[in-house]
């Protein structure tokens, strides 16, 4: 154990040791029942007299912080209730100045409140529609475990090394093959493997954006993108979304006035609304981006999860070479913990993104890349995709039926043709934040609409994930949600009536009417 001792200080050495150990115990670094070094051993390592250590231990024992066992040693005691209360949190003044400045951040992530709520103990019977992913139980874990073992046997040390900065070449070739089957022409040399789509978004943003720059985004849009852009201190120029996706006809005014450095869009099964940008708008957006020399970052996070309707070409397939940076992830389709995504980029931007990737994390896991490549042959991947689409469509239909059955009149939603989410507008001007406490009481949760708008104001929307739960859980969860919405509406009506009554009860404070103007 290393204890910093200042031999020039006026404070006795035993008191310095006692103070240090007290701090370690209070902070939790020395947990209850941890055995402290023997006094002779600690004295030798510190270069002090054994009596110095014995006095320090005696002082701690007098404070009730340690206890002795005859013939065994000195141990950290269980904290007293008063000590637990005192040490629950250090006051801000205890932190260095540079840390105190971080206690009042200029921004908080859109996901701050959901993350805080997720950290609290939850009721075991809560049905959550808040997640942003598919059903991980669909992933064939046993088969993937066998693939991992085979990769370790065959790949040896190479599988455990850093690997290529751009990503494992056979995996990039496999992804290029998958993209080609979807009408996107790609070469392995144009693909960069990332640690999930979020890293891809971060790499592009850090390369192309500087504080004060503007980014055109859909409004609402992916909360993780809002968080990232805010952290980079860039301005968000929001474009409304309707049943045909981003209202591209409004984009040109922003390109002229805000002069953005990037257009970020989720054209297929948009998060959170689930809408798809029409083909005409896709073409129009590409024309505008080319005319104003603004790159497009296309986020295709669940574009393959189509249940019905005609598949539309991606922006990357429609645009001239180098105009669109295309981004996708395997986490939503397979398992979130894989953390494997990719960027497709042409031209000098690709080389710069590879350099940014190296600075960010050197390289993505070679082992996981090799295992993923061995697992997702095109045939196997397409088989998994078909199974997921069939199951998710059934769950979507179950949620649509339950929404019709349980949500009060005035609620509104559209049936998405694919993806993971249904976007619901609440009736009567009710904000999703007003429903949250009633939803918690009913045992159901959802993603509040305010998290998907850059302004973070209260919104009458909520996002529901239909992919994670079986139909019977969806039925029960939406029933609970309907009860929560009805309670929210009733409370809102009660407050409005009370406010109106108060206004009627307050006598007018106005004086007699002023005389009218003189007329001839």
Classify residue 319 as exposed, middle or buried by CB count within 10 Å of its CB (0-12, 13-18, 19+).
buried
Where residue 214 falls among pLDDT bands split at 50, 70, 90?
Answer: very high
Sign of CA pseudo-dihedral 122, 124, 130, 133: positive
**pLDDT tens-place string over residues 328-353:** 998 777 777 788 999 999 999 999 99
Ordered alpha helix ranges (H), 35-181: 39-46, 50-62, 81-86, 97-100, 112-119, 141-155, 169-181
Helix axes 141-155, 366-375, angle to 10 degrees: 120
Classify residue 140 as exposed, middle or buried by CB count within 10 Å of its CB (0-12, 13-18, 19+).
middle
Which tokens go with 83?
């000590």
Where residue 103 falls among pLDDT bands split at 50, 70, 90?
Answer: low
Structural domains of the chain in order of their starting residue, each with its CATH number: 13-86 (1.10.10.10), 112-136+383-491 (3.90.1150.10), 139-376 (3.40.640.10)
pLDDT of 518 reads 39
Classify residue 269 as exposed, middle or buried by CB count within 10 Å of its CB (0-12, 13-18, 19+).
buried
Out of 119-133, 228-242, 460-474, 498-512, pick the least confident. 498-512
Residue 14 pLDDT more than 80? Answer: yes
Helix axes 169-181, 378-406, angle to 10 degrees: 60
Beta bridge partners of 519: none
d(CA 384, CA 456): 37
**pLDDT tens-place string over residues 233-250:** 999 999 999 999 999 999
Which tokens go with 59?
């002082």
pLDDT of 456 reads 64
Q: What are phi and psi of 486, to 5 degrees?
A: -65, -40
d(CA 80, CA 89): 16
Which tokens go with 242?
């309707």
Q: How many residues make up the chain in this entry?
A: 520
| E strands, 295-398, in order | 296-299, 324-329, 341-344
**Average pLDDT over every residue of 475-494:** 96
Cβ atoms within 10 Å of 483's Cβ, excluding its own:
18
Q: Using an 8 Å Cβ cutoff, are 268 and 184 in contact?
A: no
d(CA 29, CA 32): 10
**pLDDT tens-place string over residues 30-43:** 989 999 999 999 99
Residue 154 pLDDT more than 50? Answer: yes
Mean pLDDT over each residue of the chain, to the nearest integer: 88
Which tokens go with 423?
């976007």
Which residue bears the tokens 């402290």?
A: 36
How many helices (H) and strands (E) are present in the chain, helices listed first? Answer: 18, 16
SS3 of residue 419 by DSSP:
coil
pLDDT of 405 reads 98
pTM of the model: 0.80
**Average pLDDT over every residue of 405-413:** 98
d(CA 347, CA 81): 64
d(CA 21, CA 34): 12
d(CA 352, CA 204): 9
Which tokens go with 246?
């981003």
d(CA 339, CA 330): 8
pLDDT of 520 reads 30
| E strands, 245-319, in order | 245-246, 262-265, 296-299
**pLDDT tens-place string over residues 305-321:** 999 999 999 999 999 99
């Amino acid at each position: 154990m290393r204890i910093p001792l200042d031999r020039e200080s006026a404070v006795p050495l035993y008191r310095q040791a006692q103070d240090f150990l007290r701090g370690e115990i209070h902070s939790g670094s020395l947990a209850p029942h941890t055995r402290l070094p023997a006094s002779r051993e600690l004295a030798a390592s510190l270069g002090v007299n054994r009596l110095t250590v014995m006095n320090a231990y005696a002082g701690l024992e007098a404070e009730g912080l340690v206890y002795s066992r005859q013939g065994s040693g000195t141990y950290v005691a269980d904290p007293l209730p008063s000590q637990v209360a005192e040490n629950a949190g250090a006051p801000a003044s205890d932190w260095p100045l540079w840390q105190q400045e971080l206690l009042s951040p200029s921004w908080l992530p859109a996901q701050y409140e959901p993350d805080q709520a997720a950290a609290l103990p939850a009721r075991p019977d809560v049905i959550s529609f808040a997640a942003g992913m598919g059903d991980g139980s669909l992933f064939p874990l046993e088969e993937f475990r066998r693939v991992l073992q085979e990769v370790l046997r065959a790949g040896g040390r190479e599988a455990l090394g850093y690997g290529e900065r751009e990503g494992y070449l056979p995996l990039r070739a496999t992804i290029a093959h998958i993209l080609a089957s979807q009408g996107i022409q790609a070469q392995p040399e144009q693909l960069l493997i990332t640690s999930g789509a979020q890293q891809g978004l971060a790499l592009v943003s850090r390369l192309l954006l500087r504080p004060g720059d503007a980014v055109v985004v859909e409004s609402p849009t992916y909360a993780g993108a809002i968080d990232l852009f805010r952290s980079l201190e860039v301005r968000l120029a929001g474009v409304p979304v309707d049943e045909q996706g981003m209202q591209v006809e409004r984009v040109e005014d922003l390109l002229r006035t805000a002069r953005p450095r990037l257009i970020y869009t989720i054209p297929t099964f948009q998060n959170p609304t689930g809408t798809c940008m029409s083909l005409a708008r896709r073409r129009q957006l590409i024309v505008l981006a080319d005319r104003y020399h603004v790159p497009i970052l296309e986020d295709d996070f669940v574009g393959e999860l189509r249940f019905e309707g005609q598949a539309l070409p991606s922006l990357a397939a429609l645009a001239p070479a180098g105009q669109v940076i295309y981004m996708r992830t395997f986490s939503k389709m397979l398992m979130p913990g894989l953390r494997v995504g990719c960027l497709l980029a042409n031209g000098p931007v690709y080389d710069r993104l590879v350099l940014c990737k190296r600075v960010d994390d050197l390289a993505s896991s070679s082992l996981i890349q090799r295992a993923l490549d061995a697992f997702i042959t095109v045939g196997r991947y397409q088989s998994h995709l078909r199974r997921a689409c069939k199951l998710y469509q059934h769950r979507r239909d179950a949620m649509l039926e339950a929404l019709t059955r349980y949500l009060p009149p005035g609620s509104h939603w559209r049936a998405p043709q694919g993806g993971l989410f249904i976007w619901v507008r609440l009736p009567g001007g009710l904000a999703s934040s007003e429903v949250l406490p009633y939803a918690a009481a009913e045992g159901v949760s959802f993603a509040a609409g305010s998290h998907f708008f850059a302004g973070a104001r209260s919104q009458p929307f909520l996002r529901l994930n239909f992919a994670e739960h079986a139909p019977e859980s969806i039925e029960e969860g939406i029933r609970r949600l309907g009860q929560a919405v009805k309670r929210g509406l009733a409370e809102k009506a009660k407050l409005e009536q009370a406010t109106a009554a108060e206004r009627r009860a307050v006598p007018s404070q106005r004086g007699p009417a002023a005389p009218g103007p003189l007329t001839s």
